[in-house]
Amino acid sequence: MLSEFDLIKQYFKRSGPNQARPARAALGIGDDCALLAPSPGMQMAISSDMLVEDRHFFAGADARMLGHKCLAVNLSDLAAMGARPVAFTLALALPAANPAWLGEFAAGLFALADLHGCELIGGDTTKGPLNICITIFGELAPGHALRRDAAIAGDDLWISGTLGDARLALAGYRKEYALDDAAQLMAGTRMHMPAPRVALGLALAGARLAHAAIDISDGLVGDLRHILAASNLGASLNVDALPAGPVLAAQPQALRRQFCAAGGDDYELCFTAAPEQREAILAAAIASGTAVTRVGTIVAAPGLRLVDAHGCALDLQLDGFDHFASA
Amino acid sequence: MLSEFDLIKQYFKRSGPNQARPARAALGIGDDCALLAPSPGMQMAISSDMLVEDRHFFAGADARMLGHKCLAVNLSDLAAMGARPVAFTLALALPAANPAWLGEFAAGLFALADLHGCELIGGDTTKGPLNICITIFGELAPGHALRRDAAIAGDDLWISGTLGDARLALAGYRKEYALDDAAQLMAGTRMHMPAPRVALGLALAGARLAHAAIDISDGLVGDLRHILAASNLGASLNVDALPAGPVLAAQPQALRRQFCAAGGDDYELCFTAAPEQREAILAAAIASGTAVTRVGTIVAAPGLRLVDAHGCALDLQLDGFDHFASA
Q: What is the ipTM of this complex?
A: 0.88
Residue A123: other Cβ atoms inside 10 A:
24
Measured CA to CA, the distance from residue B230 to residue B148 in angstroms comes to: 6
Residue numbers in B near A48 (CB within 8 A): 89-91, 122-124, 133, 135
How distant is the Cα of A142 from the closest Cα of chain B, in angstroms?
A: 9
Which residues does residue B51 pair with via DSSP β-bridges, in sequence order?
B132
Nearest by CB to A55, which of B77, B127, B147?
B127
User: What type of residue is A238?
Assistant: N
Whether B52 and A93 lie within 8 Å, measured CB to CB: yes
Which of A:104-163 have CB within 8 Å of B?
Answer: 121-129, 131, 133, 135, 137-138, 140, 142, 145, 147-149
Whether A138 and B33 lie within 8 Å, measured CB to CB: yes
Residue numbers in A near B2 (CB within 8 A): 324
Cβ of B53 under 8 Å from any chain A Cβ? yes
How distant is the Cα of A227 from the closest Cα of chain B, in angstroms?
A: 9
Is the Cα dihedral A243, A249, A254, A260 positive or negative? negative
Q: Measuring CA to CA, which residue among B49, B41, B27 is closest to residue B139?
A: B41
Whether B126 and A50 lie within 8 Å, measured CB to CB: yes
User: What type of residue is B122?
Assistant: G
Identify the architecture of domain B4-140 in CATH. Answer: 2-Layer Sandwich (3.30)
Measured CA to CA, the distance from residue B311 to residue B173 in angstroms comes to: 34
Whether B38 and A33 lie within 8 Å, measured CB to CB: no
pLDDT of B323? 59
Whether B32 and A50 lie within 8 Å, measured CB to CB: no
Cβ of B17 under 8 Å from any chain A Cβ? no
pLDDT of A326? 45
Ramachandran sector of residue B54 (left: φ over 0; alpha: ψ -120 to 50; beta: rest)? left
Cβ of B45 under 8 Å from any chain A Cβ? yes
pLDDT of A323? 60
Whether A324 and B45 lie within 8 Å, measured CB to CB: no
β-bridge pairing A119-127 and A34-36? unpaired
Cβ-in-10-Å burial (0-12, 13-18, 19+) of A113 comes to buried
pLDDT less than 50: residues of chain B: 16-22, 326-327
Measured CA to CA, the distance from residue A125 to residue A133 in angstroms comes to: 10
Q: Measuring CA to CA, which residue among A150, A151, A141 is closest to residue A45?
A: A141
Sheet (strand A34-36) strand order: A34-36, B43-52, B131-140, B84-94, B119-127
Cβ of B167 under 8 Å from any chain A Cβ? no
Whether A142 and B36 lie within 8 Å, measured CB to CB: no
pLDDT of B274? 98
Measured CA to CA, the distance from residue A140 to residue A144 in angstroms comes to: 7
> CA nearest A212 in B: which residue?
B31
pLDDT of A321? 56
Cβ of B183 under 8 Å from any chain A Cβ? no
Cβ of A97 under 8 Å from any chain B Cβ? yes
Cβ of B257 under 8 Å from any chain A Cβ? no
Cβ of A3 under 8 Å from any chain B Cβ? yes
Residue A265, annotated as binding a ligand: yes
Cβ of A230 under 8 Å from any chain B Cβ? yes
β-bridge pairing A303-307 and A234-238? parallel
How distant is the Cα of A225 from the closest Cα of chain B, in angstroms?
A: 12
pLDDT of B15? 60
Cα Rg of chain B (Å, integer): 20
Measured CA to CA, the distance from residue B195 to residue B75 in angstroms comes to: 9
How distant is the Cα of A182 from the closest Cα of chain B, in angstroms?
A: 32
pLDDT of A327? 36
CA-to-CA separations, B190 to A134, B170, B175, B187, in angstroms, rounded:
30, 10, 18, 5
CATH number for the segment(s) B148-307: 3.90.650.10
Cα angle at B35 between B33 and B37, to 5 degrees? 155
Choose, out of B2, B8, B31, the residue to mutate when testing the contact with A (most A CBs < 10 Å).
B31
Cα angle at B129 between A134 and A131, to 5 degrees? 25
Q: How far is CA B88 from the centre of its chain?
A: 15
Cα angle at B172 between B170 and B173, to 5 degrees? 65
Measured CA to CA, the distance from residue A223 to residue A163 in angstroms comes to: 13
Looking at residue A53, the DSSP 8-state letter turns out to be: B
Cβ of A283 under 8 Å from any chain B Cβ? no
How distant is the Cα of B311 from the closest Cα of chain A, in angstroms?
A: 31
Nearest by CB to A33, which of B81, B90, B125?
B81
Residue A311: other Cβ atoms inside 10 A:
9
Whether B2 and A53 lie within 8 Å, measured CB to CB: no
Q: Measuring CA to CA, which residue among A292, A28, A58, A22 is closest to residue A191?
A: A58
Nearest by CB to A327, which of B50, B78, B96?
B96
Residue B144, annotated as binding a ligand: no
**Alpha helix stretches (DSSP H) within chain A:** 4-7, 63-81, 99-115, 165-173, 181-192, 198-206, 220-231, 253-262, 278-287
Choose, out of B27, B32, B146, the residue to mutate when testing the contact with A (most A CBs < 10 Å).
B32
Measured CA to CA, the distance from residue A154 to residue A301 in angstroms comes to: 11
- Tens digit of each residue's pLDDT, chain A (327 residues): 466 767 777 888 776 444 444 467 778 888 889 998 888 889 999 999 999 998 888 888 899 999 999 999 999 999 999 999 999 999 999 998 888 999 999 999 999 999 999 999 988 999 999 999 999 999 999 999 999 999 999 999 999 999 999 999 999 999 999 999 999 999 999 999 999 999 999 999 999 999 999 999 999 999 999 999 999 999 999 999 999 999 999 999 999 999 999 998 999 999 999 999 999 999 999 999 999 999 999 999 999 999 999 999 988 877 555 566 543
Residue B81: other Cβ atoms inside 10 A:
29
Cβ of B322 under 8 Å from any chain A Cβ? yes
Residue numbers in A near B131 (CB within 8 A): 50, 52, 93, 128-129, 131, 133
Cβ of B83 under 8 Å from any chain A Cβ? yes
Residue numbers in A near B30 (CB within 8 A): 148, 230
- Segments of chain B assigned to CATH 3.30.1330.10: 4-140
Measured CA to CA, the distance from residue B32 to residue A198 in angstroms comes to: 13
- Segments of chain B assigned to CATH 3.90.650.10: 148-307
